[in-house]
Amino acid sequence: MKKWFIILLFPVALCAQNGSDNAFAKAETYFKQSKYKLAKPLFLNYLKTHPKDPQTLEYLGDIEGYAKNWDGAIPYYENLVEKYPNNANYHYKYGGVLGMKALAVNKLRAATMIGDIKEQFETAATLDPSHIEARWALVEFYIQIPGIIGGSEAKARKYADQLLDISKVDGYLAHGYIAEYNDKPKQAEYNYIKAVEIGGSVTCYAKLQEHYEKNNEPQKAFETAYEAQQKHAQENRLQYQLGKVAGQYGIGLDQGITGLHHYIKYHSAADGVPKDWAYLRLAQIYKHKGDKEKAEQWINKALASRSDFKEALQERKAIMNL
């Protein structure tokens, strides 16, 4: 009788294990598809039978983080750094959610959290000499925190220099960010141009374009947007950026119209900017052209899409005065 019990027991245990593994795999698939609401209960169930599984704890922390539930995310990452103190990424994520929590509370309480945030990011950077994200976090941390409670441009530059050694593009972007934060536009421009020359990514072009817009250099902003659009023709969002500059500053109007029509035709949620903004930019362009009829047509289309579109309502008043 006992022998038969043992024989029967193991197949049941194996089935239970297989079912658990299948549930984890399904949860992981949902997570990678950004279906976090479906993934979360499956991970929580898996955690009941695997309470120390680090991957499950990390996934659950990430899910709470995506939901901006910092209080929910903190215990998962805190658990991970306690159990795995030599894992740089766990320290980085823990520091990240502590930082986001600090932004959501009053200044007095936030000040008490600064030491823990800095410790986590610096631990991550020390543990992993090539951890780019931790160094970026430290650049932002030291440049944004007031000096009286630990901020330091020199320390921010130190981590930006480390980024230069790891990734030239990230290093130049970081130095550009520091210069821009400290109102040094020429230094910022130099570093962003270097990032474009070396990396040439959409992000690099975006930072340079934004810099020119902030510093009231519309022609350079348009030239940057046009170069980015030519180099990354498959990126539909760059078509919008071209039209945006054209609409805002009244330059490159025909290229802006072409870009915006392309953006509207091939628009998807992945592009980030709703189509009604493209309608608004077309209205602005036709306003610059002095074509009141077409400007009204596009601004009405924008408002038909969203009746409380504040910027479109303001633009309509300007168009009516043509």
Residue 267, classed as helix, strand or coil, is coil
pLDDT in tens, 292-314: 999 999 999 999 999 999 999 99
* DSSP per-residue string spanning 177-229: HHHHHTT-HHHHHHHHHHHHHHT--HHHHHHHHHHHHHTT-HHHHHHHHHHHH
Over residues 263-289, the pLDDT tens digits come to 999 999 889 999 999 999 999 999 999
Structure tokens at 224: 């940057």
Q: How many CB atoms lie within 10 A of CB 6?
A: 8
pLDDT of residue 146: 74
E strand or H helix that includes residue 322: none
- What domains can be seen in the chain, in order of their start residue? 20-128 (1.25.40.10)
The pLDDT score that the predictor gives to residue 147 is: 65
What does the pLDDT read at residue 32? Answer: 94
- Which two tokens mark 244? 């945006």
132, 167 Cβ separation under 8 angstroms: yes
pTM of the model: 0.84
Q: Give the per-residue pLDDT at 148.
A: 57
pLDDT digit string, tens, across residues 134-158: 999 999 999 988 765 678 899 999 9
pLDDT at residue 20, rounded to an integer: 63
Average pLDDT over residues 45-70: 94
Give the separation between CA 116 and CA 53, rounded to whole angstroms.
25
- Residues of the chain above pLDDT 90, percent: 85
Q: Residue 82 contacts by C-beta under 8 Å, 6 or more apart in sequence?
A: none
Confidence of residue 18 (pLDDT cuts 50, 70, 90): low
Q: Which two tokens stand for residue 169?
A: 């593009």
pLDDT of 16 strictly over 60: no
CA dist., res. 35 & res. 66, Å (int): 11
pLDDT in tens, 184-241: 999 999 999 999 999 999 999 999 999 999 999 999 999 999 999 999 999 999 999 9
Say which range, 2-16, 59-73, 199-213, 248-262, has the weakest mean pLDDT: 2-16
Q: Single out the residue of 237, 225, 314 nearest to residue 268, CA to CA.
A: 237
Supply the pLDDT for residue 246.
Answer: 97
Using DSSP, how many helices (H) and how many strands (E) does the chain show?
17, 0
Least confident of 26-30, 108-112, 174-178, 220-224: 108-112
Sign of CA dihedral 273, 275, 280, 282: positive
Percent of the chain exceeding pLDDT 70 equals 92
Q: Which backbone phi and psi does 121 adopt, to 5 degrees? A: -65, -40
- pLDDT tens-digit map of 79-113: 999 999 999 999 999 999 999 999 888 888 888 89
165's CB contacts (< 8 A; 6+ apart) are 171
